[in-house]
Chain A
Amino acid sequence: MSSDLGILDSLGDEAIGDILQSWSGFCACTQALVDGRGDLSVGPDLVPLVATLCRHGLASLVRDHFLHALEETFKKNAVFKFWQQLHAYYDAQTLAVSKLHSQEGWPEEILNKSLEEICSEKGYLEKCLLILIHAFQSCEESISAEKVNLEQYGSNLIYRYQLMVSSVLLTTLPRHFPEMLRFYFKKKLEQLSTLMAEDYEDGNRFQIDDQKSKSNLASGEMDVDGSNRETIFSKNTSLVKNIGAVVRDLRSLGFTSLTEDAYASAIFSLLKAKVHNLAGDDYRAPVLGSIKEWIQAVPLQFLHALLAYLGDSFDYDSMSSGLKSPLASRPSCYPGIDSPSEGLVRWQLRLEYFAYETLQDLRIGKLFEIIVDYPDSYPAIQDLKQCLEYTGQHSKLVDSFISSLRYRLLTAGASTYDILHQYMSTIKALRIIDPTGVFLEAVGEPIRDYLRGRKDTIKCIVTMLTDGPGGNPSGPGNAGDSLLEELNRDAENQESTDYDDDINSDDKQAWINAERWEPDPVEADPLKGSRNRRKIDILGMMVSIIGSKDQLVNEYRVMLAEKLLNKSDYDIDSEIRTLELLKIHFGESSMQKCEIMLNDLIDSKRTNANIKASLPQPSLSGSEQGETDISLHILDATIISSNFWPPIQAESLNIPASVDQLLCDYAKRFHEIKTPRKLLWKKNLGTVKLELQFEDRNMQFTVTPVHAAIIMQFQEQTSWTSKNLAAATGMPVDTLNRRINFWISKGILAESAGSDSDDHVFTIVDDVNNNGLIHGSSEGLLAADEEGERSVASVEEQLRKEMTVYEKFIIGMLTNFGSMTLDRIHNTLKMFCVAEPSYDKSLQQLQSFLTGLITEEKLEMRDGLYFLKK
């Protein structure tokens, strides 16, 4: 500008007059042109005026003035009106969005119309600009030297005009406009989606009917016939054209990215709704396939048509050349689209990623329920696996799942069995998603931590392992199959089927590195090693809750002892099977003692048979003589190698003389067969089947020897005081009072207050009429189980006994130090208790002992520190 004006100084009066005249002519002509309302007749007048001004070097002044005139006119004639038309509906939109949905034709009609109007105004003004450019070109012909320069001028002007249009619109843009565009596209897409869904369904049905034999719905590999798709799509052409026109107009006004954002967000929100709709809360069917099909069928078809309408270039080489996307690994099918443009391929990737992420978030949010539902929810797990492989957002899963575990599972209300079951299902389900076990490790840790704080954890684990869900009241009722059986079957299956998890190993490895996990040591050959590293040891994960396999084996041994000692038939087939499985997993030497225990049962059966065989056969006639005269035939024995069994609970008991005599005879015969071995009876152990014979009825019971000894005392004497009965049966009074409850609960004995306040009187209820309770006579109830009386000392009791030596030491340490952590107590004991008995307990064992001391109120614990209880 300054250079232009500088010219004026060097000009003569005549030239100045010429310029002034041309300038006012130019201004008037410009005004007439832009106000012409379609009348371009004044156009040719512009040429000489522009030429004169250009000659005087005022080209840029001409250009600026003309553009300014265009801008003013555009503002005046189009912009204000455009916004106002749209604004009229804006209030309605904010006030009643719901009403709008029912309001037909909004905003599409008003938007169409307004856009048409503003674009025609814009188009007219552009024509005016072309006349100016033409004028520039004419004078360029006379000043041929500046040809190139002026041509640039022309395109530059168009560009500046475009810029002016968009900046005018953008600076006056109302806040609600993008929202309105989104609303428009959403509405249009929904219409399109409905139309297409109908056609798509029709198409599918047609397909299925047509090729029943070939079509495979389950796999989701519906190969839709291209031509069929084309006809379906053509029905919707007018709708797409309509949308296309709006997009084209918006683009021409400079709203290119705003428009793309708007339809993209409409597409994504539609896709999101579709994913939620398809996925729902049903975990028993795969949905990923249908989601991908839908992406192909609706949004991609729409985008294809839209891009084609807008004339975006087709890039025929894109598939073969540069694109190394996840798409490249699998054949992609675009029904009805011969060759997708690069833009479309990019759209597909975006949409698929979004769908994967949406489904993944949905499934992760419900992972707890999905795992509860496992294995029925296997399809949902598979979907989630695929999503995560695509998005790589495994850490999201870990975080979300851990928090739902804390909130829903690891609470006082959940039974240990429930927690263990969920832990098992978690292992099984996550093993599918992540064969390396990396996430499982992260997710499992809080569960394991929590379970370690529960007293019955080991017991529950052992029961699950060896008894199966049958022995577990709250577990799902699978056919009484133990976890060990299942693991064994799994292991066999894994050997026979090669799973193909090699494809994604690179992604996995990348993720692992990214998360700075420490992967298992990698063997020299990564290809060879990968499969071996991937075996997830379920049993190992169960054992890791307990701390060591020795503790597990110990607990099992106690449970096995209890079970074996209560057997009256020597039938140990299932125990042998379990032992074989345990041997596979824990090694033969760990199970040595258990094997000896089982062997004792086998030997006992044989010895028992030998002893019976040496007896004279009972004479048939003699069976009637004297019912008190009982023969050795009714006696069986389990003979144990006590060194290999857990400590047996010794309980004093006088058994009836007749039975005692049988035991003596039996022992004598054993000694004869097995010299110099001898028998030592554990008189309180075993089971007794007996029949109570009343005048009017007989009742059979299976009880412990203690119960048998008690009830047999009532044959001679129908009423006993507890003191006398305790003396007769050789047990402490409180034990007697506890154990006799069994007979009272069965209605066989009645209890009444004695002369002495703490001496009860027990009387046989001989008359059925006095006894309101009639119990099933042949119930095979094992009283011992019912009362929780055990034959074998529990692992805890054993540990308690062994640890008592250290109790004084621990109390002494805490007196000196005030408070100590578990680790410090453990290490101090290790350091100082080296003399016999040297301290050889594990951290877990110490912890459980200390927990016992807390229960006894000798210690207390705060913030991981142990204190003496004051």
Chain B
Amino acid sequence: MKVKILNWHAVASWTWDAQDEACGICRMAFDGCCPDCKFPGDDCPLVWGACNHSFHLHCILKWVNSQNSQTSQPHCPMCRREWQFKA
């Protein structure tokens, strides 16, 4: 007997593969989304800083904007190092 597979419909879940479970700013899971978003994934992406900390893009942008208005240099909210987007 031979088995011929005609179609295999598999199930997977996706993950951002970040070091931490949750965003340090909004405390929401990375595989979820930031409080401003409805859908996770493409709609609410993750970004990494030069310091290797990661956040929801929307969260860090808000943080950076608020930092900009106070000081000239935004910092990473986790390690206080100067915030720079990882290339």
Interface residues of A (CB under 8 A from B): 565, 567-568, 592, 595-596, 599, 603, 627, 630, 634-645, 648, 659, 662-663, 666-667, 670, 674, 676-683, 685-694, 700, 705, 708, 711-712, 714-715, 718, 764, 766, 791
Contacts and interface: CB of A to CB of B under 8 A. Distances in A.
Nearest to B11: A685
Given A641-B40, A641-B41, A643-B31, A667 B3 contact: no
A659 B5 contact: yes
Interface in B52-74: none
A780 B3 CA distance: 17
B40 A568 contact: no
B10 A705 contact: yes
Contact of A686 (B11, B13, B41): B11
B76 interface: no
A677 B9 contact: no
Nearest to B3: A712
Contact of A688 (B2, B5, B39): B5
B49 to A, nearest CB: 14
A676 B54 CA distance: 12
B12 A639 contact: yes
Interface in B9-55: 9-17, 29, 31-32, 38-42, 46
A643 B29 contact: yes
A691 B13 contact: no
Contacts of A642: 13, 31
Contacts of A677: 14-17, 41
Nearest to A592: B38
A634 B6 contact: yes
Interface residues on B, range: 20 to 34
Contacts of B10: 635-638, 663, 666, 681-683, 685-686, 705
Nearest to A667: B12
A678 B41 contact: no
Contacts of A679: 12-14
Nearest to B28: A643
Contacts of B4: 627, 690-691, 693
B3 A693 contact: yes
A636 B5 contact: no
Q: Which of A640, A642, A715 has the most CB of B within 10 A?
A: A642
A676 B38 contact: no
A811 to B, nearest CB: 33
B23 to A, nearest CB: 12
Q: Which of B5, B8, B13 has the most CB of A within 10 A?
A: B8
B15 A693 contact: no
Nearest to A681: B12
Contact of B40 (A565, A630, A643): A643
A693 B9 CA distance: 20
Contacts of A599: 39
Contacts of A705: 8, 10
Contacts of B1: 692-694, 714-715, 718, 764, 766
Nearest to A628: B2
Closest 7 pairs between A and B when the two form their complex, measured CB to CB: A642-B13, A685-B11, A568-B9, A689-B6, A679-B12, A693-B2, A689-B7
Contacts of B3: 690-693, 708, 711-712, 714-715
Contacts of B7: 568, 634-636, 688-689
A118 B67 CA distance: 120
B39 to A, nearest CB: 6
Contacts of A641: 13-14, 31-32, 40-41
A634 B8 contact: yes
Given A637-B11, A681-B10, A766-B1, 16 more contacts: A634-B5, A634-B6, A638-B11, A639-B13, A641-B31, A659-B5, A677-B41, A679-B13, A679-B14, A682-B13, A690-B5, A691-B4, A692-B1, A708-B5, A714-B3, A715-B2
29 contacts: A567-B9, A599-B39, A603-B41, A627-B2, A634-B8, A636-B8, A637-B11, A638-B12, A641-B31, A645-B13, A676-B16, A677-B15, A677-B17, A679-B12, A679-B13, A680-B15, A681-B10, A682-B10, A683-B10, A686-B10, A688-B9, A691-B3, A691-B4, A692-B3, A700-B6, A708-B3, A708-B8, A711-B3, A715-B3
A302 B16 CA distance: 92
Contacts of A692: 1-3
A700 B6 CA distance: 9
A724 B13 CA distance: 31
A685 B15 CA distance: 18
Contacts of B6: 634, 689-691, 700
Contacts of B9: 567-568, 635-638, 686-688
A659 B2 contact: no
A334 B9 CA distance: 78
Contacts of B46: 676
B2 to A, nearest CB: 4
Contacts of B13: 639-642, 645, 648, 679-680, 682
A638 B14 CA distance: 10
A596 B5 contact: no
Contact of B8 (A640, A688, A718): A688
A662 B8 contact: yes
A705 B11 CA distance: 10
Given A640-B13, A676-B17, A680-B13, A596 B8 contact: no
Contacts of A663: 10, 12
Contacts of A648: 13
B11 A682 contact: yes
A516 B41 CA distance: 57
Nearest to B31: A643
Contact of A640 (B5, B12, B16, B32): B12
Contact of B14 (A680, A690, A708, A714): A680
Contacts of A636: 7-10
Contacts of B40: 596, 641, 643-644
Nearest to B54: A676
Nearest to B40: A641
B16 to A, nearest CB: 6
B41 to A, nearest CB: 6
Contacts of B2: 627, 692-693, 715
A635 B6 CA distance: 9
A630 B40 CA distance: 33
A603 B42 contact: yes
A715 B41 CA distance: 40
A565 B11 CA distance: 7
Contacts of A568: 7, 9
A674 to B, nearest CB: 7
Q: Which of B13, B31, B40 has the most CB of A within 10 A?
A: B13
A681 B11 contact: yes
Contacts of B42: 603, 674
A644 B8 contact: no
A659 B12 contact: no
A662 B13 CA distance: 16
A688 B8 CA distance: 5
B19 to A, nearest CB: 12
B63 to A, nearest CB: 20
A711 to B, nearest CB: 6
Nearest to A635: B8
Nearest to B6: A689
Contacts of A718: 1
Contacts of B38: 592, 595-596
Q: Which of B1, B2, B9 has the most CB of A within 10 A?
A: B9
Contacts of B17: 676-678
Contacts of A603: 41-42
Contacts of A708: 3, 5, 8
